Structure 1
């Protein structure tokens, strides 16, 4: 089982690296392909658009199929499409290959989240979820900066490296991950839309997913044009921007490790409220900072808190209906990537229209405030507290 934990960590690491890799490369690719600032964000948005659209199909289908086969197919296609990004000759071919990589990721990442409750006992599920999420955090701390350093020599190298490594992970998964055939669904044709009915008819579920959308809308907008802002305001090169992003990833990684201890000291509602308020204030203040060192410190703080909050949000989503975890995981992936697609587009428009990062920071703060309000009003935090109290009473 330890091999599977490491494997899931590495799969999320390469997917996270590939998702965010475009951000520090935008200035280079924008110049090379000759595209305007307001449309450059689509090189990131094409990936998330593909992932958002096809995750809606991947989740319900994977609930009726062997998750191992879906994981292997998705990861192999992800490897090939990412490798092809290194051969893009213009803006549109880059968007096409990024779109295909996003589609492949839509069939891969949800299988990791949905497989964990199947393969591990209840006592270990939260820890393994934290390790898998740490893969995303480390991708920002190490994967994206390493990609930036490789790109300083040749912009294609990061894509080729991720593609080859992903193919090796697919081979490892073939031997390490056991088959996970659906229980009670053999011989039945999976109905894609019917599996969303329990989520669409639940006010708590609708509110939780809407709140999840808002938090990714804001955070992705802030991240999408981070590289552009670093270049314009602080005159940093691609590799120097990679060093700044290290602090984002280190904060995220630290937060994901500290999350379980925070949850013991504070309730979920307290954690969400305090964390969101601090992050909102930091994002609004960030564009007015004139020192790169202070920027690094603020990003470290922001992503340390987000490293605590995101696993909490994923746990809230997975608890909505344990019988359709694949559907929930894929809808969460689709929601996240739809928000990232729109966020990257909004960031480009705001950055171009207001000539800088201040409008992006304000937009992020507003989105996070909306997310907090919807999380509270949905009742999901109260529901989880009642479940925890019920388990405590049962134990006594």
Structure 2
């Protein structure tokens, strides 16, 4: 529910304006996470680390998000979304800019942890804010815009970051993201409508959320979904470099097609979730994602085939991601920030698990198809959870 003061401010600022600000914040977070993939070979080479540990830069970021999310989610319910968004954006900007100064792999891991903490403050608060401010019949579409913006960083942002790294230095990529994030602090404070806290100081939102079977199974879906995605995506740069000899800039271009389809999938997935229910959208998307990620890992003989399959994979991931996030946003309205923080934490928990498992396989000289098979199994396991185990209890799912 929006208070009268928040409602007055929301009417003064058109929804599309503050939604654009939040989508831009989300895009920078997505760019910061995704740009590591094409830059990892160059970063590890420059700092003297083994090339196949580059995925740990993603793992460190994900671990920080996993741990911090459950702390800051309840805080957003008790303290208010806009305050936490502002603090999170500041921490994220500082951590990302600091990454550009890293000259040692261990130091870089530390800066990635700081960026992950800032993102853990920012993104769940954004999603909870949008879920609470937008009318239920349009909630999926709005969530699709936010999640699509995060994934959309791979369309133009990741290639641009990769080209900047190739033309000047990878350091400038992180400096640019940090400066852009800091520049959004003013618009965030001026344009985004405030909202009253939804939980009292004595409430136990995490306990209440985890006592709900729908929340637990949705979190399980999120964990499996993200592990299936990130285990392969975090190593996509290495896949293209090893199998086709692509440069850093060319890797960015190769990833752009899948990113574009992921954005389209997110926008469509949110709208489809509004229309037919999130469970149905996720069920179809997970089967397509499972098949396409395995096919991608096997496409070592043709660059065209690899890019084409990645485009299909990106579209399926986008469809399922926005629908799954919309589904989570309908659960436990009084603790929406907590649920979405847990959901985001499990996203990054899945990212951490997927990238760590993939790194272990690659360090053991396993072929890329082994990583693809692992990711395919993780994606496929979402289907029985969402179709059989997940209770039909959400207000956005008419099935």
What is the TM-score when the length of structure 2 is the normalising length?
Answer: 0.91
Instruction: Flag the 1:73–1:384 CA change in 2: closer, same or farther, 3 A.
Output: closer
- Deviation by residue 1:9-29 (Cα, 9 ceiling, x = unmatched): 101100000011111111111
Alignment correspondent of 2:11: none
Q: Which runs of 4+ in 1 moved over 6 A?
A: none
Equivalent position to 1:314, from 325, 344, 367: 325
Alignment correspondent of 2:66: 52
Alignment correspondent of 1:256: 266
CA distance in structure 1 between the partners assigned to 2:137 and 2:165 by the alignment: 42
Alignment correspondent of 1:207: 217
CA contact (8 A) 1:229 1:356 kept: no
SS at match of 1:179: coil
SS at match of 2:170: coil
SS at match of 1:81: helix
2:245 is the alignment partner of 1:235: yes
2:374 is the alignment partner of 1:359: no
**Larger deviation, residues 175-184 vs 129-138:** 175-184
- Deviation by residue 1:266-288 (Cα, 9 ceiling, x = unmatched): 66554333322222112112222
Equivalent position to 1:329, from 340, 343, 350: 340
2:154 is the alignment partner of 1:140: yes
- Deviation by residue 1:340-376 (Cα, 9 ceiling, x = unmatched): 1121111111122244311110000111112222222
**Larger deviation, residues 124-133 vs 305-314:** 124-133
Alignment correspondent of 1:162: 177
SS at match of 1:388: coil
Alignment correspondent of 2:88: 74
Alignment correspondent of 1:392: none
CA distance in structure 1 between the partners assigned to 2:106 and 2:277 by the alignment: 47
CA contact (8 A) 1:151 1:158 kept: yes
CA contact (8 A) 1:60 1:190 kept: no
Please show how residues 158-307 of structure 1 align to structure 2 within 5 Å: 158-183=173-198, 185=200, 189=201, 194-259=204-269, 262-263=272-273, 268-289=278-299, 290-307=301-318
CA contact (8 A) 1:45 1:341 kept: yes
CA distance in structure 1 between the partners assigned to 2:327 and 2:138 by the alignment: 17
Superposed CA RMSD in Å reads 2.0
CA contact (8 A) 2:281 2:323 kept: no
**Larger deviation, residues 24-33 vs 267-276:** 267-276
Question: C-alpha displacement at 1:126, in angstroms?
Answer: 2.3
What is the TM-score when the length of structure 1 is the normalising length?
Answer: 0.91
CA contact (8 A) 2:264 2:315 kept: yes
CA distance in structure 2 between the partners assigned to 1:115 and 1:267 by the alignment: 21
Instruction: Flag the 1:268–1:65 CA change in 2: closer, same or farther, 3 A.
Output: closer
CA distance in structure 2 between the partners assigned to 1:7 and 1:19 by the alignment: 19
Question: C-alpha displacement at 1:118, in angstroms?
Answer: 2.9
Alignment correspondent of 1:121: 135
CA contact (8 A) 1:61 1:190 kept: no
CA distance in structure 2 between the partners assigned to 1:146 and 1:37 by the alignment: 22
Instruction: Flag the 1:262–1:31 CA change in 2: closer, same or farther, 3 A.
Output: same
- Deviation by residue 1:203-230 (Cα, 9 ceiling, x = unmatched): 3321221121011111110111111111
CA distance in structure 1 between the partners assigned to 2:317 and 2:149 by the alignment: 14
CA contact (8 A) 2:278 2:397 kept: no
CA contact (8 A) 1:207 1:374 kept: yes
